[in-house]
Homo-oligomer: A and B are copies of this chain.
């Protein structure tokens, strides 16, 4: 029941593509992350994933199109749908997803962090 200030949390790190847990409710995590450059194509077999832009601009690439998001805009990627987040400049993003979600989904990659190893800030 503490207040969480997203800007304060986002000011504590710079490393892109390393989500940090800032809240937990109903088996879901609230995470923040910096996006910069290109992520990896992946999907989550059992989890839907919400991306809400806090600062900057990101694009979520799908195999047949893309969705561009600015501050105050979100997109929900349904389970099973391949996607690849991209940020042309460093941007700040809030994520909502089940606590068990693996950041690179079905793919093993240098960006992979197992859910149990996520940092809480």
Residues of A within 8 A of B (CB): 1-7, 23-26, 28, 30, 47-50, 54, 62, 67-69, 72-78, 81, 96-98
Query: Contact between A1 and B62 (Cβ–Cβ < 8 Å)?
Result: yes
- Identify which of B2, B7, B28, B78 contacts A72 (C-beta below 8 A): B7
Q: Which residue of B lies closest to A24 (CB)?
A: B76
- Could you tell me if B28 and A67 are in contact, using CB atoms closer than 8 angstroms? no
Of the candidates B6, B26, B62, the one whose C-beta lies within 8 Å of that of A73 is B6
**A28-B96, A30-B50 known; A76-B6 Cβ under 8 A:** no
Give the CA-CA distance A3 to B97 in the complex, in Å: 17
Q: Which residue of chain B lies nearest to A75 when distances are taken between CB atoms in the complex?
A: B3
Q: Is the CB of A4 within 8 A of B73?
A: yes
Give me the 10 closest cross-chain CB pairs, A-B, nearest first: A25-B48, A6-B72, A5-B73, A25-B76, A26-B48, A4-B74, A3-B67, A23-B76, A3-B73, A26-B98
